[in-house]
Amino acid sequence: MKTDSIFYRLFQEFPSIFFELIGEPPQEANAYQFSSVEVKQTAFRIDGVFLPTQEGDNPLYFVEVQFQTDAEIYARLFAEIFLYLRQNQPQNDWRAAVLYPTRSIDTADIKHYREFFSSQRVSRIYLDELGEAVSSPISIATVKLVIENEDTAIEKARELIDRTKHEISSQQQQQQLLQLIETILVYKFPNMSIEEIQEMFGLSDLKQTRVYQQGVEEGVRREKFRTVPLLLRLGLTVEQVARELELTVEEVQQAAQEQSSS
């Protein structure tokens, strides 16, 4: 599994983590929708964009995950951003963040773009400089698990799983975090099966509990509710959305009403 796909899932399910990474209140995520954006008529695809749900003071955030040295990273990033701005002409301002595992990977020349960095319109985040995982918020500690080497990843994962069970009161968020940790471990230990990883970290027993299964079901339902407004904006009728998401018409109407009142 590619590293950027892990971060895409992480930001999709826990958008507040991104805002913690850039030093903003995690509550800012409530005003955004995260997605991947393809720039038309080019081969460009921006890893992720946090799009404000309403026009106003909240800026767009372009996100790039870079885990290998790339001399053209900034040339490509700014080309993508400005093509997007030209094609979409958003009313909101914009910012960007590039995530690196370490500072040593960030080798590209910035002389043509230095003003964007000095003004902090574009920020660079080095995951290994975020502080000790034990003292970090659990969301940041989960991000840091991606860059742990195999010798320390097992111990860090066990600590993180224990913290998740004790610090996260929401069953939905707890099961989402545990699934994400499991995904990271599969990525880090490609020679182990999912079953072996679940057994090693005690995840298999946890997944059999009634509380966990209820959390999974509730998470699926919430994700469907979040998708309702998007499908309605794309022109689908209430009845079509209900069939597509396997919801009742009443549930679709409820989800649409909650979105309009938020």
Q: Are 201 and 180 in contact (CB under 8 A)?
A: no
* Phi, psi for residue 50 in degrees, rounded to 5: -90, 110
pLDDT band at 109 (very low <50, low <70, confident <90, very high): very high
Residue 212: pLDDT above 90?
no
Q: What angle do CA 118, 116, 104 make, to 5 degrees?
A: 75
Q: How far apart are CA 36 and CA 260, in angstroms?
A: 24
Reading the block at residue 74, the tokens are 């900034």
- Higher model confidence: residue 66 or residue 193? 66
Reading the block at residue 34, the tokens are 């995260």
Amino acid letter, residue 141 = A
Cβ contacts of 153 within 8 Å, gap of 6 or more: 145, 185, 188, 189
The overall pTM is greater than 0.85: no
Q: Cβ of 57: how many Cβ atoms within 10 Å?
A: 9
- Higher model confidence: residue 154 or residue 171? 154
* Phi, psi for residue 217 in degrees, rounded to 5: -60, -40
Residue 184: pLDDT above 50?
yes
Sign of CA dihedral 30, 31, 33, 39: negative
Q: Are 148 and 156 in contact (CB under 8 A)?
A: yes
Q: What is the structure's pLDDT at 133? A: 60
Q: What is the structure's pLDDT at 39? A: 63
Write the DSSP string, 118-166.
HTTSEEEEEGGGS--TTTS-HHHHHHHHTT--HHHHHHHHHHHHHHHHH
Q: What is the structure's pLDDT at 164? A: 87
Alpha-carbon separation of residue 260 from 50, 56, 230, 233, 243 (angstroms): 20, 17, 12, 12, 21
Q: What is the structure's pLDDT at 210? A: 45
pLDDT digits (tens, 9 = 90+) for 44-102: 667 789 999 888 889 999 999 999 999 999 999 999 999 999 988 999 999 999 999 99
Residue 249: pLDDT above 50?
yes
Q: What is the structure's pLDDT at 187? A: 77
Q: Are 157 and 203 in contact (CB under 8 A)?
A: no
Q: What is the structure's pLDDT at 8? A: 81
Regarding beta strands 45-52 and 32-38, do their DSSP bridges make them parallel or antiparallel, or are they unpaired? antiparallel
Residue 150: pLDDT above 50?
yes
